[in-house]
């Protein structure tokens, strides 16, 4: 037998080679990480509202002015007795969108979103960021021209009155947000003024009506019947239901309700529709819960959730300001699309169950129909202007959701919901002489003793839409 020999130890050259490879991999990873944070993410990090340089500049730099789309000044800076700048705002109606910039309480709204640009820490033009270190005065506060219309914003807030609510108006062709109103409003100038900031801000924080909540973008509400446009997009867009589809179960269910897995879906039957089996346009004009419940069940939970996702549901909307995510279901169910069962799906199809939305989300749903199935990315800024000139913000397609002919079928149904013989009874405030209007009203039942949410979405003129609204 050959005696066992001890294992041969690798030579020093091999060992050193292995160490060199390990060190090369380690240093490569470090270099990649440093490159990622210092190059790829550097612009984002340096312009973040919580960046130390941005915070420091906010106390001493005269911020850039903010204007509406027509050049009216919305926000500018004054100086206190110590020569330090503080913010002044045109109107309280802008508080929900512009927010505030305060030395004591930081910033909110558009002031926070573009803190770095307004204080000159970064520019809208990346090239200017690269060369600013060579300038005698590297700080270059940017003036911002927004897409807002100050007079419309004021009118929207005035129309809401003492109610808690929101109005979103936008141009469906470009995604320009014309109005982003939330009530109740607050005095942003008083929050910015160092002499009044503490007292006013403490009062706002304790107000049960939550005036600091930007309801248009972060308020989530049960939508009721305005949500029916979402399952309409899913049903017609997927081909599960056609515009001339009727359901034989619908007419007899108007009296006793539609039985779905032991639960009865009920509808306020309109005498004028009699016992007629409604098609899509008829069901939209009559706001028939039973037709939409049946359409939702035929479409299926997976398809409804998927098409809603194309419209922006399920995630925060990519927007200048922070947004809350809208949802068609709370998720976690195994019925399809996260729905728990057929009952939840049927109720969600007419805007109840676990469905909650932001007003901005419903404006985007409406915009998709108005713009022939193309959803433009919403935006609040038209341009940034600094020492090097003006940088424009161009419109951007976000999603191509529907074929134009499907969007047109939905638009026709929405026009009947405003101007049809039955629809006009419920949308008198939406009818404008000499202007064709498409829309959908809704009342969301909240349960208990609370008052229902009242909604309206719409666009005009129908043949060539220029404006969308969600209230």
Q: What is the pLDDT of residue 417?
A: 96
Q: What is the pLDDT of residue 19?
A: 66
CA distance 144 to 391: 10
Give 209-259 pLDDT, tens digit per residue: 999 999 999 999 999 999 999 999 999 999 999 999 999 999 999 888 999
* Low-confidence stretches of the chain (pLDDT beneath 70): 1-20, 22, 26-59, 123-138, 269-272, 274, 447-450
Residue 55: alpha-carbon gap to chain centroid:
27
Q: What is the pLDDT of residue 453?
A: 84
CA angle, 48 as apex, 44 and 52 as ends, to 5°?
120
**Beta bridge partners of residue 203, listed in sequence order:** none
pTM (predicted TM-score): 0.86
The tokens 């929207």 sit on which residue? Answer: 156
Cβ contacts of residue 337 below 8 Å, gap of 6+?
A: 300, 301, 302, 303, 304, 305, 306, 328, 329, 345
Residue 1 token pair: 């037998």
CA distance 157 to 167: 8
| Nearest Cα to Cα of residue 371 among 91, 181, 176 | 176
Largest CA distance in the chain: 110
Q: What is the pLDDT of residue 428?
A: 77
Cβ contacts of residue 47 below 8 Å, gap of 6+?
A: 54, 115, 116, 117, 121, 122
Identify whether the C-beta of residue 413 lies closer than 8 Å to the C-beta of residue 285: yes
CA angle, 346 as apex, 269 and 416 as ends, to 5°?
50
| Nearest Cα to Cα of residue 298 among 253, 252, 250 | 250
Q: What is the pLDDT of residue 267?
A: 84
DSSP letter at 209 equals: T
For 104-131, letters b (16+ CB in 10 Å) and e give ebbbbbbbbbbbbbbbbbbbbbeebbee
**Beta bridge partners of residue 349, listed in sequence order:** none
Q: What are phi and psi of 129, to 5 degrees?
A: -65, -35
Q: What is the pLDDT of residue 197?
A: 97
Dihedral angle, C-alpha 393, 395, 398, 400, nearest 10 °: -170
CA distance 207 to 203: 6
Q: What is the pLDDT of residue 256?
A: 86
Task: Check residue 338 and give left, alpha or beta (phi > 0: left; psi -120 to 50: alpha).
Answer: left
């Amino acid at each position: 037998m050959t005696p066992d020999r001890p294992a041969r130890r690798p030579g020093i050259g091999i060992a050193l080679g292995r160490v060199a490879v390990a060190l090369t991999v380690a240093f490569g990873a470090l270099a990649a990480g440093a490159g990622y944070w210092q190059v790829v993410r550097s612009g984002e990090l340096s312009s973040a509202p919580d960046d130390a340089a941005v915070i420091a500049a906010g106390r001493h730099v005269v911020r850039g002015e903010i204007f509406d789309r027509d050049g009216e000044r919305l926000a500018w800076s004054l100086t206190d007795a110590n020569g330090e700048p503080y913010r002044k705002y045109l109107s309280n109606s802008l508080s929900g969108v512009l927010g505030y910039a305060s030395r004591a309480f930081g910033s909110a709204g558009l002031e926070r979103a573009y803190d770095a640009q307004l204080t000159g820490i970064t520019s809208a033009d990346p090239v200017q960021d690269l060369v600013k270190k060579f300038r005698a005065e590297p700080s270059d506060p940017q003036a911002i021209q927004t897409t807002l219309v100050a007079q419309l914003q004021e009118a929207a807030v005035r129309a809401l009155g003492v109610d808690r609510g929101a109005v979103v108006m936008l141009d469906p062709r470009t995604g320009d947000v014309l109005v982003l109103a939330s009530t109740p409003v607050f005095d942003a100038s008083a929050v910015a003024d160092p002499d009044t900031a503490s007292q006013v801000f403490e009062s706002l924080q304790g107000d049960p009506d939550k005036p600091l909540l930007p309801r248009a973008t972060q308020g989530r509400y049960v939508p009721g019947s305005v949500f029916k446009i979402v399952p309409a997009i899913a049903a017609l867009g997927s081909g599960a239901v056609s515009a001339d589809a009727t359901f034989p179960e619908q007419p007899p269910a108007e009296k006793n309700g539609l039985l779905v897995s032991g639960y009865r879906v009920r509808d306020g039957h309109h005498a004028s529709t009699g016992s007629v089996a409604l098609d899509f346009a008829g069901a939209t004009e009559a706001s028939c819960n039973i037709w939409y419940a049946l359409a939702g069940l035929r479409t299926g939970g997976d398809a409804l959730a998927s098409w809603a996702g194309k419209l922006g549901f399920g995630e925060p909307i990519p927007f200048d300001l922070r947004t809350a995510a809208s949802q068609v279901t709370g998720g976690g169910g195994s019925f399809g699309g996260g729905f728990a069962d057929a009952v939840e799906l049927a109720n969600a199809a007419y805007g109840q169950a676990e469905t909650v939305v932001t007003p901005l989300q419903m404006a985007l749903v409406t915009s998709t129909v108005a713009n022939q199935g193309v959803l433009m990315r919403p935006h609040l800024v038209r341009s940034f202007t600094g020492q090097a000139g003006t940088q424009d913000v161009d419109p951007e397609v976000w999603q191509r959701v529907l074929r134009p002919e499907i969007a047109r079928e939905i638009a026709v149904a929405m026009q009947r919901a405003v101007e049809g013989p039955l629809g006009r009874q419920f949308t008198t405030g939406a009818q404008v002489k000499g202007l064709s209007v498409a829309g959908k009203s809704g009342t969301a039942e909240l349960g208990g003793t609370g008052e229902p949410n009242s909604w309206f979405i719409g666009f005009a003129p129908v043949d060539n839409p220029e404006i969308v609204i969600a209230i």
